[in-house]
Amino acid sequence: MSNQNDVDKATLDASDIRDSVISQELRDSFMKAYAKSQQGELEDQLGDNVMILCENLVKIYKTKETEVLALQGLELKVERGEFVAIIGSSGSGKSTFLNMIGGLDRPSAGKLYVDGKDLFKMTESQLVDYKKNTVGFVWQNNARNLFPYLTALQNVELPIRFGDNKDVEKRALDLLNLVGMAHKKDSKLNQMSGGEQQRIAIAIALANQPKLLLADEPTGSVDQRTSDALLDVFRKLNTELGITIVIVTHDINLAKKVKRVVMMRDGKTSSERIIKQEYADPSLLKGFVEEETHDEFAILDRAGRVQIPREMLDAIGVKGNRIRLVLEDDKIIVSNGEDNGEEEEPSGKQEKFRRKNKA
Ligand code: ADP
Ligand code: MG
């Protein structure tokens, strides 16, 4: 029966998303919101293109008995229009970080600017406004975003009513269309698959044209094909509406398909991978080998500290806590500090560096 086919298509196939047309009104509403955003008070200091800037960000959770250092001096800069995936093992601080950016929780120390605003200086009412108009949030557990006994359309209409949009139903339908769910507008949420509910959750997050969309493990409870389809939704929002997107995931397959991947470890950003230009087209990403497609970077913090992946240290036989640094031309070479073999011939730059530091 064709009806059943439609259901399967909505759940599993992403082509309807790629092909769905974004209405001019919807496009305009986002462009208008973005034009306003250029007036952020800190824009001049930060540069027009910065969406998120955090420096030495610290978050301490205090309970009666313990203190948990959930973020330990995190550094990250995300430009407007970027699509970033954050990965890291459980407990590394990913959700904590996303909650800080989303204004759901307050950081303890450091600096955090989003969309030209200083999140440390926001009053409660500014924070409410920020959560309503600047960021949209999608959780893994969509029970947090959705009302199970309302229809898809009613769910999406709710947050639109709180914003300053006039034609509520039209906009809700536009958003449902954008996420490929217009044909399910009258279905109750509890009659939908996990992937479909996530699409509705994305539509809700977009209700008031956020500039930044945050998603915490959005594909955490769906299968691989559904996860791919959801990624297509995010990609479309990013490329066609210019929404900056940060998703937290431990779905390695998903992370492989995102251009910039930031790794977190112990409450810090530890390294980064940027997809190589020749793989930036998603259609080229089918069946690739990870190592060939991403360049790997380590994060340098304010104090000049770098975290080197254990596998790399093991590969050069580092066992203790000493490594040797040699400056050579425009490279710094890291080698095993316990090797007391013949000292290598110093290069010109290294020699200059030594002389300068002796003086
Ligand atoms: P992730 O999302 O990467 O799994 P989280 O950000 O949830 O990590 O947690 C980072 C650390 O902070 C963990 O040690 C966690 O137990 C702790 N933590 C998170 N939220 C709270 C909280 N509300 N109160 C106390 N500790 C917390
Ligand atoms: Mg988490």
As for ligand 1, residues whose beta carbon falls within 6 Å of it are 61, 68, 70, 88, 90-96
Of 255, 272, 298, the residue that ends a domain is 298
- Determine the structural domain holding residue 337 and report its residue range: 316-358
Q: Same domain for 226 and 349?
A: no
- 306 within 8 A of 329, measured Cβ to Cβ: no
More confident residue, 343 or 250: 250
- 65 within 8 A of 118, measured Cβ to Cβ: no
Q: Same domain for 153 and 226?
A: yes
- From the CA of 67, the nearest ligand is 1
Is residue 307 domain-resident? no
Is residue 186 domain-resident? yes
Q: What is the dihedral of CA 218, 282, 196, 157, to 10 degrees?
A: 80
Q: Same domain for 73 and 182?
A: yes
Q: Same domain for 328 and 291?
A: no
In the predicted model, what is the mean pLDDT of residues 143-164? 86
Q: Same domain for 323 and 274?
A: no
pLDDT classification of 210: cutoffs 50, 70, 90: very high
Can you tell me which residue has the tokens 């969406």? 51
Mutate to test the pocket of ligand 1, among 96, 97, 216, 251 (most ligand atoms within 8 A of CB): 96
Q: Is the pLDDT of residue 289 over 60?
A: no
Q: How many structural domains does the chain have?
A: 2
Secondary structure letter of residue 242 according to DSSP: -
Of the candidates 41, 212, 213, 49, which has an alpha carbon nearest to the alpha carbon of residue 116? 41
pLDDT in tens, 54-80: 999 999 998 888 899 999 999 999 999
pLDDT classification of 171: cutoffs 50, 70, 90: very high
Is residue 292 domain-resident? yes
- 67-79: strand order across its sheet: 67-79, 50-62, 109-114, 117-118
Of the candidates 228, 266, 262, which has an alpha carbon nearest to the alpha carbon of residue 245? 262
Of 249, 267, 298, the residue that ends a domain is 298
Q: How far, CA to CA in Å, does 26 sit from each of 152, 230, 241, 299?
A: 18, 20, 9, 38
Q: How far, CA to CA in Å, does 246 sit from each of 82, 84, 109, 231?
A: 8, 5, 22, 12
Tell me what the pLDDT averaged over the chain comes to. Answer: 81
Index of the ligand 1 atom closest to the CA of residue 97: 6
Q: Same domain for 237 and 328?
A: no
Q: Same domain for 159 and 55?
A: yes
